[in-house]
Structure 1
Amino acid sequence: MPSRRAFLAAQGALFAAAAAPAGLLAALAANTPPLPRLDDWEAVRGLFRLDPAYLHFSGFFIASHPEPVRQAIDAFRRTLDENPLLTVEHGMFGSDEQNLERKVREAAAPYLGGRADDIALTGSTTMGLALVYHGLQLQPGDEILTTVHDHVVHHEAIRLSAMRNGASVRKIRLFERSADATVEGIVAAVREGIGPKTRILGITWVQSSTGLRAPVRQIADAVAEINAKRSEDQRVRIVLDGVHGFGCIDAAVAELGVDYFCAGTHKWILGPRGTGLV
């Protein structure tokens, strides 16, 4: 898996170059400046247009675009303005070699640790969670288990899915105080919370409310042990809200052991606003 720094360094030019049909690639490349070096902290800080009068700790909300991302967005915008028909027609409906969304997924796959075909592009974590939960084949009587610590958009996606499918929802507490939380205690709470009717476990990688990073791999291992004693139609699947871990923690998503991973890329990945993936 490439490091986060290598992934971020490579993507500005790659996303821009992939955004246009072959006939426009040369012009687009000419309009996109070379990527800067990332081995000097002051130079990296200079890539952001952050107001120096403030100390900025708001990456959890929405990221300031670094210069390579701004340049890639501008290059694509110019390409789209110059030839909207061909850019859209080739970039979205052309061959695999020209398809914009496929190029983005191919660029993201090595960092995620999966394949391009495992990835769907969305507009946000919220959209990804909604798509996943409303695509689940749940039956009346099935249970979705989540935690009291999850974000409201995760809870809403679960609530609406349960209403649609006739499933029930139950929330458990993983700890009383985040400062006292332990890996063993969190995993034990999940084990005890999973019941015979539980089919979905909805959890968060890094909680926006507390900053606590959940031991996702250990939780997934515990669920796998439970699933080993169940039939395929009764196994528990894990849906992970991963937005605040994605790009903030150097871990391959495909190795976390979850079934569905949802994240926005306009936070810690520093991507264009209104982007995300499943």
Structure 2
Amino acid sequence: MSKKSNSNLKRPCSWREVRREFRLAPNVAHLAPMLFASHPRVVRRAIAKHRRVLDRNPKRAHDDLEINDVRVLCSAASYFGCSPNQIALTDSTTMGLGLVLTSLKFSAGDQILQSEHGHYSSDAAIGYACDRYDAVRVKKTLYDSDDPAEACQDEMVHQLMSGITDATRVVVITWVHSSSGVKLPLQRIAEHLRQINEKRPAERKILLVVDGVHALGVEDFELREGCCDFFIAGCHKTLCGPRGTGIIWGSAAGWNRMRPTIPPFGRDRIECWRLGKADIGAIGRRMTPGGYHSYENRWALADAFDFQLEIGKQRIRHRIHRLAQFCKQRLASMPHVRLLTPMSQDLSSGIVCFNVDGWEPDDLETELARNGVIASANPYKIPCMRFSFGLYTSRRDIRKGLSVIQSVGQR
């Protein structure tokens, strides 16, 4: 990192040193960072620092709103390899999906293509957009939900592209599915859409909207023109950012198709309003919802991005994928376990889904917790158990979880 770090990590740091940055309950295996992640020391300290200023001198904090927001945007831009002007700040993935999908320009009969495998939040946001603009929802099944371990990149791309018609205006996908652990071939999907868009006029080009929350903090990627048109994610999961924080990254074409829903805040915004001038500020700032937020958390998000960069995005990806592979291989060797997540690292990320003969996932989650293992059952139509991995996951955690899974098969 070019800037001075506020963490206690030595470079290069060991994973044991990374783990010590988190105030985790001892003697518990933490295998659910895909839901809520613990804050590292640097983020806890940043939240406390900003809260002290807010409590001691609220007016000073108010005057520094834009300075602190810009610091967050610059750290996010360093992490994503993009311009800070392309990023809007939100409170969650759900807020981002709702803002984007209900603020895009649609005409009656325009189609929004989605997969059957997305989260409730994207499904509901698409429904709101369709209701508002008389748009049409089109759903495609990309792989067999009863057997996602057999998902195939070629088949997933083919199935999604088969849903495109002349009326398609937006494609909405989830990069890493929390229902199965399947990771979509995002680059290939984007390339197919680019080829289709080459033959379309600007107003009929297809936008690609990506729910990337379960890739953020795991996959090593940058956000560039052509990778997608909107990347939307909350930052309180595997990124280990403050709770109640999120981002929207938009391409030039994507932002150009959006109409603001919530008025933005900021001196420039207010001055333009006062003088009756058009706001020509950075598009990300103009699309960031105004009002007052939980600023101690929002401003500490800069430290979460910096912390990840200090450890190294490529190193984090390698670590989490190795942990997931270790877990999948051992689950696959247990005769009473049905592994649902593909073994290939090209088709999976930091979530491993499975079922155990004779156990409902909710009951298994309770049994795991009783034995000191924190994991999660999914809330989808086809239920399953999930182990997920992050910065503070160790093989010891995974072995403890696997030991419980092995023992329930012997009863």
Structure 1 residue 255: deviation in Å?
6.3
Query: Residue in 1 aligned with 2:120?
Result: 152
1:237 and 1:172, CA in 2 relative to 1: closer, same or farther beyond 3 A?
same
Query: Residue in 2 aligned with 1:253?
Result: 223
Query: Residue in 2 aligned with 1:73?
Result: 47
> Using CA pairs below 8 Å that are at least 6 residues apart, which structure has the higher relative contact order?
2
**Native 8 Å contact 1:124 1:277 kept in 2:** yes
**C-alpha separation between the residues in 2 aligned to 1:87 and 1:35?**
26
Structure 1 residue 105: deviation in Å?
0.4
**C-alpha separation between the residues in 2 aligned to 1:259 and 1:47?**
35
Query: Residue in 1 aligned with 2:23?
Result: 49
Alignment map for 1:25-64 (pairs within 5 Å): 35-37=8-10, 39-64=13-38
**Native 8 Å contact 1:12 1:72 kept in 2:** no
1:192 and 1:174, CA in 2 relative to 1: closer, same or farther beyond 3 A?
same
Residue 106 (structure 1) aligned to one of 74, 77, 84 = 74
Structure 1 residue 52: deviation in Å?
2.3
Query: Residue in 2 aligned with 1:242?
Result: 212
Residue 140 (structure 2) aligned to one of 172, 179, 200 = 172
1:160 and 1:230, CA in 2 relative to 1: closer, same or farther beyond 3 A?
same
Structure 1 residue 49: deviation in Å?
1.7
Query: Residue in 1 aligned with 2:361?
Result: none
**C-alpha separation between the residues in 1 aligned to 2:28 and 2:227?**
39
Query: Residue in 2 aligned with 1:195?
Result: 165
SS in 2 for 1:63: coil
Q: Alpha-carbon deviations, 1:16-49, whole Å to 9, x = none? A: xxxxxxxxxxxxxxxxxx5432612222111112
Q: TM-score, normalised by structure 1?
A: 0.84
Structure 2 counterpart of 1:190, which letter? L
Query: Residue in 2 aligned with 1:117?
Result: 85
SS in 1 for 2:71: helix
Query: Residue in 2 aligned with 1:184?
Result: 154
Structure 1: gaps spanning 5 or more residues: 1-5, 14-33, 93-98
Query: Residue in 2 aligned with 1:84?
Result: 58
1:73 and 1:145, CA in 2 relative to 1: closer, same or farther beyond 3 A?
same
Query: Residue in 2 aligned with 1:208?
Result: 178
1:35 and 1:46, CA in 2 relative to 1: closer, same or farther beyond 3 A?
closer
Structure 2 counterpart of 1:51, which letter? A
**Native 8 Å contact 2:91 2:234 kept in 1:** yes
Structure 1 residue 62: deviation in Å?
0.7
Structure 1 residue 230: deviation in Å?
1.4
Residue 141 (structure 1) aligned to one of 105, 109, 113 = 109
SS in 2 for 1:214: coil
Structure 1 residue 256: deviation in Å?
6.5
Structure 2: gaps spanning 5 or more residues: 249-411
**C-alpha separation between the residues in 1 aligned to 2:224 and 2:69?**
20
Matched pairs, number: 245
**Native 8 Å contact 1:12 1:69 kept in 2:** no
SS in 2 for 1:87: helix
1:208 and 1:41, CA in 2 relative to 1: closer, same or farther beyond 3 A?
same
1:165 and 1:12, CA in 2 relative to 1: closer, same or farther beyond 3 A?
farther
Q: TM-score, normalised by structure 2?
A: 0.57
Name whichever of 251-260 and 52-61 sits farther off.
Answer: 251-260
Q: Which has the larger radius of gyration?
A: 2
CA RMSD of aligned residues (A): 1.7
Query: Residue in 2 aligned with 1:263?
Result: 233
**C-alpha separation between the residues in 1 aligned to 2:136 and 2:45?**
47
Structure 1 residue 86: deviation in Å?
1.1
Q: Alpha-carbon deviations, 1:96-140, whole Å to 9, x = none? A: xxx211111011102112101000000000000011011100000
**Native 8 Å contact 2:194 2:226 kept in 1:** no
